[in-house]
Each structure stands twice: as structure tokens, then as C-alpha cells.
A and B are shown apart, each in its own frame.
Chain A
Amino acid sequence: MIKLENVIFMYGEKGTKDKGVVGVNLNIQKGECIVLCGKSGCGKTTITRLINGLIPHFYQGRLMGSITIDGKDISNQPISKTAELVGSVFQNPGSQFFNVDTTSELAFGCENQGMVVEDILERVEETKQLFDLDRLMNRSIFELSGGEKQRIACGSIYATKPEIFVLDEPSSNLDSRSIENLRKIIAKLKQQGKTIIVSEHRLYYLKELADRYIYMEDGVIKKEINAQELNALHGNEIAAMGLRTLDLNQIEAEIKIIQSTGDKLEIKKLNCKRGKNTILDIVDLTISHGEIIAVVGDNGAGKSTFANCLCGVMKHEGNYFMGTEKLNNKKRTAKSYMVMQDVNHQLFTESVTEEVILNQNREVLDHLDELLHSLNLLDEKDTHPMALSGGQKQRVAIASAICANKDILIYDEPTSGLDYTNMTKICKLIKRMSHDISATIIITHDLEFILGCCTRVLHLAKGKVEDYYPLDKEGIEKVKEYFIEGRG
């Protein structure tokens, strides 16, 4: 049904920028579920754009070869025509909504096709039933969580009834429960005989759905693997391909015990209110020196609030001590640094060097090359931070934290949208740095990542500490249970 023949695409007006695809031949049958996988920048997103017509209608570049759906040439028909055949869900749930209220958003695609109002309402109703969206109707998208937004996005695509669904890293910003929801949605689509193309890093949730995996490298399709073949591969082989695990149960973890000698960070009677409601209430929490703590919990459990309170940027009550020193909000802000989920918000200057030494003594310049080298950024020294890849931007942010001698490092979903290689890189980096600082706090939904580098788990639920345990043998089982149970 979908046919890509000898497709070459290069981004940029003259087709000179890299990161396109070369010589792609791909045949996708009706009803198939295809997973595009490979490292960041391998060209999998480009394939999704070729299918939904964003190339060449939105992304400019040089295109050769032919892309047809049911014999119709996608690159020669207007994109609004393709939209009737192909529905797309994107990575960032925040920026794919045109409307502010959810009901209008569900109807949006149908409205664009000029369908009769009664039919649209019927379809919206049907979508609501199928995807269980009752609770989300008539809400402002600004009050929804990432997972809820992604469900609405899928729903609004479904309402237009396209035959083909293209999903570009749909799980990047989702927690484990939402990923499970996403899995159910894709399963329903598959049941209905829709053709599904997913470009994705996280593979475990697609394990039972995928028919075929397309493994890409440097813009070329390296291998086509059918599901049985890939499932039969050993975890190490999958990792060697730079892919994320297919089975959460099989993740191997080493036990990392912290023998700490430094000052402990103590938090006492933390209480944070929004309006009249207490959204976070922590009576007593002690963090040993050098610990790497994973903060887990469902949406709304208070994870971000905890992070914001800890680094002193949110108004709240609470006492903090480092050894005998009491730390007020201001002191903590000076001591801490948060690597944000949207790292674009924390890059301010015109080159990597400038960024790292911003607001620092010029003395740090002596060690700068060494630092940049250790973070694999030396070649990008003079590049504008915004021109870097996601993983590189993150490392620039980390470099500036190191330079500023920060003592508490907080990461907000550092692995969202990262491939296996980049994930292991950041694991190593966090571990290496943790020896020199008081505490590393990581908000994350990524089990593979937690088992790769964390030493303790802080489980929050409904604004309270549900559990706080070291990742010893028992702890590993516990955290696995939490994540895998989240699927049921």
C-alpha cells in the first residue's frame, strides 16, 4: 500500500545539510505495524515525514525517487489531500494542538476536511468511546498531562479515519502508565486493520504489536527484521545495535552501594501548597553524600514540585540542612542546578564556550578544554548551543553546572527522546560526577536508565513519600515491579 522507491532526501534549500535519507526502498502492506528504529539522527523521523507528506511540503530539501500510497504520488498532491489518508502524531504533546479545548481539537481534522457537522459529532463520540476519553472532554489542553495530551492527539487523528497512522516518537514525553495507554491505543488501531508506522526509541511497549522492524543507520536502511527474529536476539545484541530494551524484565542491573563520608542533606517538614491544597508534604528525608536518587511516581505525585522546592525556586515551607549548615531557598538556588526537560530554555549565549563560563571567573578557562573533552564537546567549542543535537545540548547544560561548582544536580526526564547510546553516555556521566557532589536527583520514567545509574529510589504518591529505598537486590526487584505493574 505504501511504497518508497529509491528515495533520496537531503534537508536544506540546496539539499546540502546532512541528516537526510539515501536510497530508501520500503514496501508497507495494509494492516502492518512497522517500527522504525535506530540511533538519533539515523533518518527514521525523515521516513515518517516522507509518508505524511511533510516532506516536501513543509520541510524543504532535495527529494528524488517516488513515494506512493495506493499508487498516488504523495509529493505531487497537496498535503491536505494526504491528510485524509495519513494521520500523524508527533513527539511533543505540547505543540501539536491548534485549539485550546479538547473537544474542538478532536473535531479539528474533520473540520478541515469540510465534513458535515452531524458526521463529525458522531465520529467524536465514537472516538471518545473507543479511547475512553470521557474524562478529558471539554477541558483546556493546558490542564492536561503529557499522557492525556497524547491520547487526545491520537483521538483527533482517529476521528478523521485515515487508513495509515504515522507516530513519530510518541512515547518520548510519557510516563510508564501513559505509555501503557498508548500501547492500548495502538493495539486498538491494529485490531481495526489500520496500517501503523512508529518511529521510536523505546521498544518494549511495541513488542507484541510490531510486525516488522526497520533498523536504520546514517540515513540508510541497514536491516529489515521481522518481529520473531528481533525477539529472539539476546539483550546484548540489541544493545550493540544501539537499541533500547525489548523487555523490561530482562534489564540487568548492578548493585551500587554508596559508602558516604560527606555531609548529608537533610530535609525536614517540607510542605508546599497550591491554593488551599497541599501538593507536597515530606516530613523527613535524608540524602547521603554522593547518592543518585531516582524520583518516581505517577503524574501529579509531586515529583516536579519536589525538585522545584529542593532547588529553591518554588515558594514553600521547609527546613534544609547540609551537615550543620542551614540552607535557605536562596542558598539552595545558588548550590543547585536543574537540567530541564526542555533544555532549550537554559541556553543563553552564542557559543558552547561562552555558555559554560557564563557568570564564572575566567579561571575556569584553564580547565575548560579538559572539561569539554571529557563531555565530548571539544569539537563544538565555538558552535552555537542551539545548533547542537538534543544530547549535546544536555551535556552543555551539565558542563555549565560543573563549572559553577554546583553541589546538588537535578535532572528532569534527562532521557526523554534519547537513544540507547546517548542514554548510556549520560548514565556514565552522572555516575562519574556523583562522587564530587552532594546529591543527584533524577526525575524519570525510564526503568532502563534508573537501573543503569541510580543508587536509591524515592517513590512519591499523591504528594507524600510512598517509599524510599536503596537499589540493593531487593530494591531492584521493587522498582521493576513498580514499572512493570504500571503496565497492567
Chain B
Amino acid sequence: MGDASFGFSNRPFIWMDPRSKIVLFIASSFTLMRGISKVVSEIIFFVFISLLLFNGKQINYTIKMIVTFAIMMYVDINVASMFSGTLGVLLLTVSRVFRIFLPIVMSLTLIVRTTTVSEFIAAFEKMHITKKIVIPFSVMFRFFPTIKEQWVSIQNAMKFRGIHISIRTVVCQPMLTMEYVMVPLLMSAVKISDELSAASLSRGLGGDKKRSCITKVVFGYLDYFVVLISIGFMAYSMMN
């Protein structure tokens, strides 16, 4: 969750509008609900998302996902049928059910790892979403990696005091362990919240003027293409 690349992006080869990424995400979660009924269409959809991720320069991640997908596919087709009973069901569950989740996870990754916070804000504003959502949302994104940093530091601090977390402490003294973790984490959250508020206010956030945005959010050819394919897949899964 606390990946340092949240809300930050390497320049993609072809820029994508955050809105078309959202449409793609909805399409992938929609097709899951409906179930893509043919392996071929599932593969096409998967390849499509993989290509978009490559476009966003998420090379290592995408290769990992492709390998995972291929193994699951192979197990599904060639291995699972060799076993019957519980083991067979288990293999099927892992290879099939988890496989359908891959495109959803990947399209979510596409959103969070290839969109900058300011692109989000711009896209949200174009969609006329109120700043009461836009501001918390962008702050939230920015704060995930910070929590990770704090967490590492708090864990180290706990080790020096001999109160580090282990399975034993979680089971034997759950309340105390929770207190040791939560108190410093929340204390620094409050502190950062205050400092960030002060900094943002003093830089004019939350004024009456309409914000401008240096990131232009405009639909390009790729976006139309993505939306078209997404709708196509949704329609296709409806028909089945």
C-alpha cells in the first residue's frame, strides 16, 4: 500500500487522461461481476491492460503480472484437471478466481501509479467533483508513503525499547501492542496534519478563486480508444 511511487508518475509514452483510466477500472470490475465467459476475451482484456501499463512505464510490475497470469492460465488448463476433490477445487480457486482479480488490481495500479496528484485534481475538477472530496483525496494519496516512513521509524524505536511487535506480542498483549503502535503513529499524523494545513493555507489553498492547473486534462486518441474498448467489454459481458 505504501509504495513511494504513489501519486507520482514517470512520463508515459502516450499521456492518458485519468478519467479514461477510471472508466477502464469500472469496466474491469464490471466484467468481473459478470464474469468474462471466454478465455480468449479474458486474454485480450488482460493484454490490453498490460499494454497500457507498459505505456505508463510500469515495466517490472507488468512483467510480474504477466508471468503470474500465464502460470495461472497454465495451471487452469493443464494441471488442475489432473486432480480431483479438494485439491482440484483449491487449484481452480487459486488459478481462476484470483486470475479474474488481476485485471482489477492492474487497472487500479494504472490509476495510482501513473497519475500525479495534480492530474487527479484537474480531472476531478473537470468532473465537477466538489473540493470537499478533491482535497482530502489528494492529501490521502500524498500521505500513504509518509505513513510508511513513519512506520519504519516507529518500528525501529520499538526495537530499542524491547517492545517490538511479533506474533507473540500481538496474541499475548494485543491491547498494549496496539497502543504502542497507534499512539506514536497518530501523534505524528496530527502533527503533520497541522503542519501541512498551515503550509497549504499560507500558499492560498482554499481561496474563493477558481484554481487553475498546469496539467492539462484533455481526451486524446488513446483515451477515446480505451473508453471504446472498455464499453465494448462491458457490453460483451452483458450479452452473455
A interface residues, Cβ below 8 angstroms from B: 52-54, 57-58, 78-84, 86-88, 90, 92, 94-101, 103-104, 107-117, 120-121, 124, 138, 140, 142-143, 156-157, 160, 308, 311, 313, 333-334, 336-338, 340, 342, 344-348, 358-359, 386, 400-401, 404, 406
Contact = CB atoms under 8 A, between A and B. Distances in A.
Given A96-B196, A120-B212, 10 more contacts: A53-B202, A54-B202, A107-B118, A108-B118, A111-B213, A117-B212, A142-B8, A340-B157, A345-B184, A345-B188
Contacts of A160: 203-204
Contacts of A87: 202-203
Contact of A99 (B118, B162, B197): B118
Contact of B209 (A80, A90, A120, A142): A80
Contacts of B93: none
B18 interface: no
Interface in B94-145: 116-118, 138-139, 141-142, 145
Contacts of A344: 184, 187-188, 191
Contact of A88 (B138, B150, B153, B202): B202
B85 interface: no
B116 A348 contact: no
A188 B196 CA distance: 26
A404 B205 contact: no
B183 to A, nearest CB: 6
Most chain-B Cβ atoms within 10 A of its Cβ — which of A90, A92, A140? A140
A365 B2 CA distance: 41
Contact of A348 (B149, B184, B199, B203): B184
A80 B141 CA distance: 24
Which A-B residue pairs are the 10 nearest by beta carbons? A80-B207, A83-B204, A96-B199, A346-B157, A112-B204, A104-B118, A100-B7, A114-B209, A95-B195, A140-B8
A138 B215 CA distance: 13
A78 B208 CA distance: 9
B199 A98 contact: yes
B46 interface: no
Contacts of A121: 214
B10 to A, nearest CB: 9
B215 A104 contact: yes
B66 interface: no
A344 B186 CA distance: 10
Given A54-B198, A90-B199, A345-B188, A84 B204 contact: yes
B81 interface: no
A373 B126 CA distance: 61
A390 B195 CA distance: 16
B37 interface: no
A270 B201 CA distance: 47
Interface in B179-225: 179-180, 183-184, 187-188, 191-192, 195-216
A170 to B, nearest CB: 13
B142 A112 contact: no
Nearest to A342: B153
B12 to A, nearest CB: 13
A101 B117 contact: yes
B179 to A, nearest CB: 8
Contact of B202 (A52, A92, A340): A52
Nearest to B7: A100
Contact of A57 (B180, B184, B201, B216): B201
17 contacts: A58-B197, A82-B202, A83-B201, A94-B192, A98-B117, A104-B117, A104-B118, A112-B204, A114-B209, A114-B210, A308-B156, A334-B162, A342-B188, A345-B157, A346-B184, A348-B163, A358-B161
Contact of B212 (A80, A84, A111, A401): A111
A346 B191 CA distance: 15
B4 interface: yes
Contacts of B214: 103-104, 107, 111, 117, 120-121, 124
Contacts of A111: 118, 211-214
A386 B187 contact: yes
A100 B116 contact: yes
A157 B202 CA distance: 10
B62 to A, nearest CB: 20
A410 B159 CA distance: 14
B6 interface: yes
Nearest to A333: B159
Given A98-B196, A104-B214, A114-B212, A79 B202 contact: yes
Nearest to B118: A104
Contacts of B141: 100
A455 to B, nearest CB: 24
Contacts of B196: 95-98
Given A78-B208, A98-B142, A313 B191 contact: no
A96 B161 CA distance: 31
B201 A79 contact: yes
B68 interface: no
Most chain-B Cβ atoms within 10 A of its Cβ — which of A107, A338, A342? A342
B146 interface: yes
A359 B203 contact: no
A348 B183 contact: yes
B160 interface: yes
Given A157-B203, A334-B162, A404-B161, A345 B208 contact: no
Nearest to B205: A112
A108 B158 CA distance: 37
Most chain-A Cβ atoms within 10 A of its Cβ — which of B6, B142, B162, B207? B207
Nearest to B209: A114
A113 B160 contact: no
B55 interface: no
B116 A99 contact: yes
Contact of B184 (A117, A311, A338, A347): A347
Contacts of B202: 52-54, 79, 82-83, 86-88
A156 B118 CA distance: 15
A37 B26 CA distance: 56
A406 to B, nearest CB: 8
Contacts of B153: 340, 342, 345
Contacts of A120: 212, 214
A156 B11 CA distance: 21
Contact of B203 (A58, A108, A313): A108
A84 B205 CA distance: 11
